[in-house]
Structure 1
Amino acid sequence: MNTSQCQVSASDIQSPLSQRRAFYRTAWRWHFYAGLYVAPFLIMLAITGLMMMYAGTLENYRYQNLLHVEPAGPIISVRQQLEVVRQQFPEATIKQYLPPKTPEDVSRFAVVTQQGEGLFVTVNPYQAQVLGSIPRDNTMYQLANDIHGTLLIGETGDRLIELAASFGVILLVSGLYLWWPRDNASRAGMFRLRLGQGKRTFWRDAHANVGVVTGVFLLLFLLSGLSWSGVWGSKMVQAWNSFPAEVFGDAPLSDVTHAAMNHGEAEEVPWNLEQTPMPMSVITEEEMTGTAADTANTTSHHAGHHMKTSVPARSLQQGIVGNVNIDSVTAFARQEGFTNYRLNLPQSATGIYTIMASTMGKDITDATQDRTMHIDQYSGKVLADVKYADYTAMAKTMAWGIALHEGDMGYANKAVNTVLCLSFVLISLSGIVMWWLRRPKGKLSLSPPPAPNDPALWKGAMVVIAVLGVCFPLAGLAIVTVLVLDWLVISRVAPLSRFLG
């Protein structure tokens, strides 16, 4: 074998290694830029998630004198409790009744004042006595929830967070590739913290290993959160999994959706019902002269058109108009097996009673018991009865996933979520520390990993972008926008090019 043949063979042997190194640097570069955007959002989401998870415990302690009573004799009728709330808050709109979960708990009525302030009015169920009110809007939970969902800037904030969650998926995939052992050097740091090999090695091990161990959980958090987002969630996944209103049979439908029963950013309605139109009560000539006895306000907005219909379903007080009230509805709820639930009251002449028990509303922790029932406020007919068995596979996953996401499945769930949130903060901060330690001193630059020279690698990256653009539209659009800006502006302005690398 001559020398030239030996040289060609050596080149052939080295070529795959060089390609692997170039691909590694490409993945590292994508990981760097995605992390640059995602890290601050991930820290924010983890901290506000912790605040939301523990806000209920703190507020229960803060308002314990308004939330707990000594059992004393039989419970007064809910209708009488409702009346004392009306007397105490004559100008407010009473939206909802939440029955006591234990004998020591109070009854709660959700009201909205004339000024638009949301309150929980608590009532001693044994004495029909108003104990006080708890704000629904100006709370630690609501503040954390608003930041968590919209950054307090509405739809723009929702889109920015959705983009961060979408890029988070890129981080997970590229991070797993970077961590995956390829040689002895990379295997040395698997599931280990090398304390004696310098700061960069220590932080690299902490970042990579904690990321891999918690990666599956982070993916579940990201996907369940994305399912609420304005584009990927609302326009795609949620829309495809919404409960079909046609299943309600002949029940007349309103022009409002179930999402109207949510209180601001606080989600109470099951995920798959939010976009589904609400049934409405049927008004006959007799009822046109007034609304039902327990309609929560005097608003006469008639959603949709009025029509008579026959609903082939069970009824509460079939054919006895006027006997349907909050007492008979709550008695029917107990008869139907509801234990922990919330009862939404009719808000107009065509409004309905809605009995709802869901993991989304924190009423229950067993998703298989999710159930939403709508009742005509006049005839008492059951207009719809949606159970867990009626959900799509994705909706069932969300019923469980949201409860786990929010730490509602008991103390163990809350403890695990606490560790995960702290781990996500550590991953983000360790990534920042790694960049700080390797950046060139005295140089004004982001100092990303070097770009590959091989055009084939960029073609592969464009395939990834195309797939990403289909799966996560905002992320795909953002990457294409950055590439166009790079070509038109950044690459032509030397200071920008040097800073961004």
Structure 2
Amino acid sequence: MSPIKSVIRDLHLYLGLVSGLVIVFVCLTGCILAFEKEIEQTWYSERYFVAPAPTAPLPLARLADAVRAQKPKAKIASFKVYADPTRTVEISLAGGPNGPEKGSIPTEAKQEGRGAERPAEKPAGKAEGPGRGKGDGGGPRLYVNPYTAAIVGEINPRDTFFHTVEQLHRGLVAGKIGKLVMGISSSIFLFILGTGLVLWWPAARKSLTQRLQVKWGSSWKRLNHDFHVVLGFYASLFLFVLAITGVGMSFDWVSQGINQLTNSPLKRPEPPVSAAPAVAGAAPFAPDAVLALARQQAPGAISYSVQLPKEADGSIKVAILPAGAIAENATNEVFLDQYSGQVISGQTYEQRPVGHRIRGLFKPVHTGAIFGWPTKTLALIISLLGATFPVTGTIMWLSRRRKNRKKMRQLQTV
């Protein structure tokens, strides 16, 4: 082995030993998150699905009344309605269990306040789905039967099992320090993958076949070697993608660099405001009218999210997820005047700045959710393989050490 390759091997080895446990942990928690949505909907199917009725769904106003009857102090932040007739309607509340605490600022208001960057555009923003999502107002989320107005489930998005797993995956529940540790670990993993490819590259063409096939009938040591070298080569490209997106979600400078390279603004524009009502005390535009307008504009959409304004001059935000969307956050947005229902502004997903779209794809690509089941399955397999490489690499290192010690003892005996 050449001196350069010897140095690369040492770097590959010792960086792998230092970060091995973290890599195994991150890969295993990533496996759990790959099918988060499907697992949640299977475990708690009564929360997400109902038997469709022959009658039309009840108006959102009736569903809102049912929520207020159970939680008199609740302040409804948003509705999410699915085109699927078997899905429940998700109603998110602002603030704590019974609404916003006195003097508190709902989480969504903090995140989407004027001049702030909206969650959908944050590189580490959460994708909509079971257990959590955008527009929840910082409070609990209730699941309501659209045909009977019965409340069939309630969760706090921040208290779910998968939210805890994601916090462990992203930062070991250690805040900024944990996020920094994970970002550094992802960067080290990228270097390990790069040095691994250099070490894998055969010196002679006749050795190429040996490094592309696992010798299944060999000894366990040879199998361990092939699992690390051969499977590592096949998985490296996909692991590169997972590690790069992990780095992108951990460091803000990555997002800033993408915005600068694509000439995109650092922040999304401020939400538009509603005009003062012509009559004092005018009633706000009803959510049912907003939903009807959204369905008229996009009749074939998968879901419609209606986010109610938090201020007297705020606007109603409607997020429409079109059929065939590349990800759950690839929504078309429309802002309405909360008193007249007039469309103030709108933006399709394709009209968003390129940098914002790239950043919004970090998590769907990282979790494999970007193309549904096929990429989720691929992400699960690759994550499992990623968890084995530190183990097989450590076994190779220990075997090599024992072999070298045995040679040294033989030389001393001679």
Do residues 421 (structure 1) and 383 (structure 2) align? yes
Aligned to 1:276: 268
Aligned to 1:52: 33
Do residues 26 (structure 1) and 7 (structure 2) align? yes
Matched position secondary structure for 1:228 = helix
Once the two structures are superposed, what CA deviation does each residue of 1:38-87 show, in whole Å capped at 9, x if it has no partner?
A: 32232222221222223333322332223222222111111221222123
Residues 93 and 210 of structure 1: is their aligned pair in 2 closer, same or farther, counting only changes over 3 Å? farther
Aligned to 2:163: 142
Matched to 1:425, the amino acid is A
Aligned to 2:310: 347
For 1:350 and 1:124, the matched residues in 2 are separated by 32
For 1:104 and 1:197, the matched residues in 2 are separated by 53
For 1:364 and 1:98, the matched residues in 2 are separated by 18
For 2:224 and 2:50, the matched residues in 1 are separated by 52
Native 8 Å contact 1:111 1:118 kept in 2: yes
Residues 114 and 120 of structure 1: is their aligned pair in 2 closer, same or farther, counting only changes over 3 Å? closer
Deviating more after overlay: 379-388 vs 396-405: 396-405
For 2:239 and 2:217, the matched residues in 1 are separated by 30
Do residues 189 (structure 1) and 210 (structure 2) align? yes
**% of aligned pairs identical?**
24
How many aligned residue pairs are there?
361
Residues 276 and 395 of structure 1: is their aligned pair in 2 closer, same or farther, counting only changes over 3 Å? closer
When normalised by structure 2's length, the TM-score is 0.76
Deviating more after overlay: 32-41 vs 391-400: 391-400
Aligned to 2:392: 430
Residues 434 and 381 of structure 1: is their aligned pair in 2 closer, same or farther, counting only changes over 3 Å? farther
Native 8 Å contact 2:193 2:236 kept in 1: yes
Aligned to 2:257: 236
Native 8 Å contact 1:38 1:165 kept in 2: no
For 1:242 and 1:376, the matched residues in 2 are separated by 30
1:393 CA drift (Å): 4.6
Do residues 386 (structure 1) and 347 (structure 2) align? yes
For 1:423 and 1:66, the matched residues in 2 are separated by 33
Aligned pairs (5 A) from 1:349-368: 349-357=312-320, 365-367=325-327
1:241 CA drift (Å): 5.5
- From 79, 95, 101, the equivalent of 2:77 is 95
Residues 82 and 26 of structure 1: is their aligned pair in 2 closer, same or farther, counting only changes over 3 Å? same
For 2:63 and 2:263, the matched residues in 1 are separated by 36
For 1:195 and 1:433, the matched residues in 2 are separated by 18
Matched position secondary structure for 2:213 = coil
1:107 CA drift (Å): 0.7
Matched to 2:176, the amino acid is E
Give unmatched runs, 5+ long, in structure 2. Answer: 101-137, 406-414
Do residues 221 (structure 1) and 242 (structure 2) align? yes
For 1:134 and 1:442, the matched residues in 2 are separated by 57
Residues 49 and 341 of structure 1: is their aligned pair in 2 closer, same or farther, counting only changes over 3 Å? farther
RMSD across aligned positions (CA) = 3.2
Matched position secondary structure for 1:405 = helix
Aligned to 2:127: none
When normalised by structure 1's length, the TM-score is 0.64
For 2:73 and 2:263, the matched residues in 1 are separated by 36
Residues 335 and 180 of structure 1: is their aligned pair in 2 closer, same or farther, counting only changes over 3 Å? same
For 2:263 and 2:70, the matched residues in 1 are separated by 39
Matched to 1:153, the amino acid is A
Matched to 2:75, the amino acid is T
Matched to 1:376, the amino acid is D
Residues 376 and 69 of structure 1: is their aligned pair in 2 closer, same or farther, counting only changes over 3 Å? same
- From 41, 47, 63, the equivalent of 2:44 is 63
Q: For the pair shown, which has the larger CA radius of gyration, 1 or 2?
A: 1
For 1:348 and 1:432, the matched residues in 2 are separated by 58
| Greater relative contact order structure (CA < 8 Å, 6+ sep) | 2
Do residues 180 (structure 1) and 201 (structure 2) align? yes
For 2:91 and 2:264, the matched residues in 1 are separated by 28
1:168 CA drift (Å): 1.7
Aligned to 1:129: 150
Native 8 Å contact 1:45 1:148 kept in 2: yes
Native 8 Å contact 1:407 1:414 kept in 2: yes
Residues 104 and 196 of structure 1: is their aligned pair in 2 closer, same or farther, counting only changes over 3 Å? closer
Give unmatched runs, 5+ long, in structure 1. Answer: 1-19, 245-271, 294-321, 444-501
1:146 CA drift (Å): 0.9
1:326 CA drift (Å): 0.8
